[in-house]
Chain A
């Protein structure tokens, strides 16, 4: 018996074909840093593994007039080295830089992080505050889904069995807009977020916040946008009161569980602290440009 069949299609059509016609359960492989671990212990079970990294565009990141089109399988190591992206989305880059370690980042991808749909996935809050859109291809064509709608539960996203994530579209932010991402772990690396918060702010020339987005992770079944936290920031100069109000809004919006990584009270409190601190960092970044 062959337990594992491996295919590395070189076109989207071929890949989608494989997904829809497979006899055995299919697993899409990007960097494999989630998938291979999840497949341990299933050594007897039949699986078709479809490696999507050879499909053109899957590991690229190109600018169009208005967008960055990110190939979902680009490794975090390549992604975090891109100065052009770092300048525009420093918060998303720092989220990718937090994943695992140097070794893990050589393989891990943002698309994998997103499709794995862990509540604690580090890049998802940063994608949300940057209004990322998932570009999806299936047997019957393509569709676009906002990141916040892409995720439907712990480890679950809205892809149908014949569908692939083929791109992540990130609109170019308006002027004087910056993002930041912070997570809490008890150590310095190689750990899973106990809570995470991404914030994007747009400031006018007087330092007044004209637009903001806040997303939090590891404190509910999926990462979520927190509009009330964003509203607490908009119209303010991000003074202490505004930051505290945003923190309180994030804590309020959080719906965490107690587990080996942290308690409900702890997560609720810390996600607020992270929101406050991330907003401050994002605002400071606007000032530095």
Chain B
């Protein structure tokens, strides 16, 4: 077990290897690659939220001498329009294709319809006007209530609700229903002394990454085509593009550029397949970029939700039953994170009787993408708000109430497995002991506390470590670094090899130079790719021992390797790693370590956040005056980057709770597609987020790591919501807590 171990590098705050290039502007992001002969692609987007395309004629654009290629849905060879017309089965690849370039119907404002590549960006944009397009405008469906009402227009004529007790007989805007249960929910509520039942809703929000989507591609008939793009998963970009364009994996090479934020939103493809079609048709490298407006209107976002929560408890604080009905907007195509929302909603609690029902609903908004702990912030917001209200009704401190019901080792989850060792109780105890929780609540301030749970995943990672003749080396990994993971890889390898972290250069290789890696998502990278790094380093240690043994004429078993030095157990001889590398030529050639793993045993991460908010009672303006994020990291490899994840998650969650939301006109036109009016928190809006790292090691990882990237965005919604409710003395049931909404609550109470 790792607790007792002394580490040399793990736990230090080293300088990140990618930092210097980033702060000096040398790092190359998605829009930074330009190639000789390159041309520009631009996309024609729908001005309507819901419409049939009655005419699409590109002949005038084609005749323009500046235009070198045009792409429409018809250019997806494996998912052609006929399949859509005849087929009754909706499938993911068809949806992806229709989302990238609309097929006969546009389903949201900003939906891509056609693309043009021309000699300059300006020419490409100008040529879009030459596309003759006509629409039959349909009534847009913009909310869950509207989508599931009997009068609602149906977005997809072939979509039947999956997961109903009786198979569906007619098309619906509900793509799927899911049900999870444990125990006897009726009996549970019958045993309760106090019950809280309330409906909650959350808005459509965007991941808000600073870097817009961009790509440069080169189609190559005689070798692999190249795609350069910022992505959380270049292997998945390769797979999706291959499927869409009917290519083999080996015909595409994807290079992951540096990435300016993703948060889940860069786990899919938008521009890449289109650019490759344009490149194939024109024979030129093609570059495409989204504007910020495009990013808001047509990428991301995260689901809006409606949740009905019912929680019952005895007067002694024992929760007897928890029930949820959860609706998630999927956007224009099915596939919201309703599943994980249902699975996580009550997981912080060890309760006998649970019942959860979830619905995936399509609306005329962009197709949602993953956003940090997809699905969990929405459902856990609702659950945590209700839990806080219940604790208050019973008269119990929210931490004590949670400690009494906290999930722990052995708790049977609603979705299957029993929990292994987890850190919720440790986080609650840390919250109880924190300076923040023990500080008196200032006047006019409300305090809220909430917990959060996320599973975390493992999965496939592949790593190669090459040592150089002077003992320095390269760590070749395939996990795009969106949060400082290269620093952690360096540290983990350095710990095993007993060298300085800075002597090992970590690189995120393209899809040709390292075997398959799952996407950077699910908080998996430091856990799973970290495990592969450790295994590859251990592979090297075995080789170093064998090489030393060869030099000493002993067996490998007679060699010990510690802190970067091989020791001859039969004598006094020692050789450093650098010594062994220097003579590698004589002992069999250069030294590389390798690991290809499918990591199991990802450890869930729990968090508890505390938030103090001041409300201006005359204007409804909120001000976060103090905030503490407490979370179980298992083992913090690089504490600064772990704290950064806690803080970043907290900030995004605070934004979600306070001011972020998509604003649509009644016609479904997005009215705030820019950072001016889509209000993410600014640095000056927030206090320092105090981060407290709890370490309850995950025994499945060599150093005890749990993923930390996602959980941190879950608790803020209810911590903020509860703090605002406390400050204004009224329940909060709808996010965001924007000033007009809060002022209305304040005025109605007068």
Contacts and interface: CB of A to CB of B under 8 A. Distances in A.
Contact of A260 (B122, B672, B743, B744): B672
Nearest to B622: A186
A186 B739 contact: yes
B80 interface: no
A260 B677 CA distance: 7
Nearest to B670: A260
Contacts of A262: 739-740
A187 B681 contact: yes
Contacts of A278: none
Nearest to B620: A266
B684 A189 contact: yes
* Chain B facing A: main interface SS: loop
11 contacts: A186-B621, A187-B659, A187-B679, A187-B681, A188-B682, A190-B676, A260-B677, A265-B744, A266-B740, A269-B619, A273-B618
Given A261-B677, A266-B739, A266-B740, A188 B618 contact: no
A149 to B, nearest CB: 30
B444 to A, nearest CB: 16
B671 interface: yes
A266 to B, nearest CB: 4
A273 B682 contact: no
Interface in A242-278: 259-263, 265-266, 269-270, 273
Interface in A169-216: 184, 186-192, 194
A186 B682 CA distance: 11
A289 interface: no
Contacts of B658: 186
B122 A44 contact: yes
A43 interface: yes
A232 B125 CA distance: 55
A195 to B, nearest CB: 9
A58 B658 CA distance: 42
Contacts of B659: 186-187
Contact of A191 (B671, B676, B747): B676
A287 B679 CA distance: 38
A42 B747 CA distance: 45
Question: Most A CB atoms within 10 A — which of B621, B663, B671, B740?
Answer: B740
A184 B619 contact: yes
A44 B66 CA distance: 14
Given A186-B738, A187-B684, A273-B618, 9 more contacts: A43-B125, A184-B619, A186-B658, A186-B679, A189-B684, A190-B676, A260-B677, A263-B740, A265-B740
Contacts of A188: 682, 684-685
B745 interface: no
A262 B744 CA distance: 12
Interface string B729-750: 0000000001110011001000
B685 A187 contact: yes
Contacts of B122: 43-44
Interface residues of B, number: 25
B126 interface: yes
B738 A259 contact: no
Contacts of B125: 43
A186 B747 CA distance: 18
Given A43-B125, A184-B621, A188-B682, A269 B743 contact: yes
A260 to B, nearest CB: 4
A260 B671 contact: yes
A44 B677 contact: no
A215 B658 CA distance: 30
A254 to B, nearest CB: 14
A194 B672 CA distance: 14
Interface residues of A, number: 21
Given A43-B122, A188-B684, A189-B682, A260 B663 contact: yes
Contacts of A43: 122, 125
A102 to B, nearest CB: 11
B671 A273 contact: no
Contacts of B740: 262-263, 265-266
A266 B747 CA distance: 11
Nearest to A41: B125
Contacts of B684: 187-189
Interface string B656-679: 001100010000000110001101
A188 B683 CA distance: 9
Contacts of A194: 739
Interface of B: 122, 125-126, 618-621, 658-659, 663, 671-672, 676-677, 679, 681-682, 684-685, 738-740, 743-744, 747
A34 B521 CA distance: 39
B750 to A, nearest CB: 12
A194 B747 CA distance: 19
A189 B739 CA distance: 15
Contacts of A189: 682, 684
Nearest to A266: B740
A171 B747 CA distance: 41
Contacts of A259: 671
Contacts of B676: 190-192
Nearest to A267: B740
Contacts of B744: 265-266
Interface in A6-55: 43-44
B743 A266 contact: yes
A273 B747 CA distance: 14
The 9 closest A-B pairs by CB, nearest first: A266-B740, A260-B663, A188-B684, A260-B671, A273-B618, A260-B672, A263-B740, A188-B685, A186-B659
B294 to A, nearest CB: 13
Contacts of A265: 740, 744
A216 to B, nearest CB: 15
Nearest to B659: A186
A117 to B, nearest CB: 18
A189 B743 CA distance: 21
Contacts of A192: 676-677
Contacts of B126: 44
A261 B663 CA distance: 10
Nearest to B672: A260
Nearest to B655: A187
A19 B126 CA distance: 28
Nearest to A277: B618
Contacts of B743: 266, 269-270
Contacts of B618: 270, 273
A191 B681 CA distance: 11
A259 B663 CA distance: 9
A49 B674 CA distance: 26
Nearest to B129: A44
Contacts of B672: 260
A68 to B, nearest CB: 30
Given A44-B126, A273-B618, A273-B619, A187 B739 contact: no
A263 B663 CA distance: 12
A260 B663 CA distance: 6
Given A44-B126, A273-B619, A187 B682 contact: yes
Question: Most A CB atoms within 10 A — which of B122, B681, B682, B747?
Answer: B682
Contacts of B738: 186
A186 B122 CA distance: 36
Contacts of A260: 663, 671-672, 677
Nearest to A272: B618
Contacts of A270: 618-619, 739, 743
A44 B679 CA distance: 31
A186 B659 CA distance: 7
A190 B618 CA distance: 22
Contacts of A186: 621, 658-659, 679, 738-739
Nearest to B675: A190
A186 B743 CA distance: 12
Contacts of A187: 659, 679, 681-682, 684-685
Nearest to A44: B126
Nearest to A192: B676
Question: Most A CB atoms within 10 A — which of B619, B621, B738?
Answer: B619
A190 B677 CA distance: 10
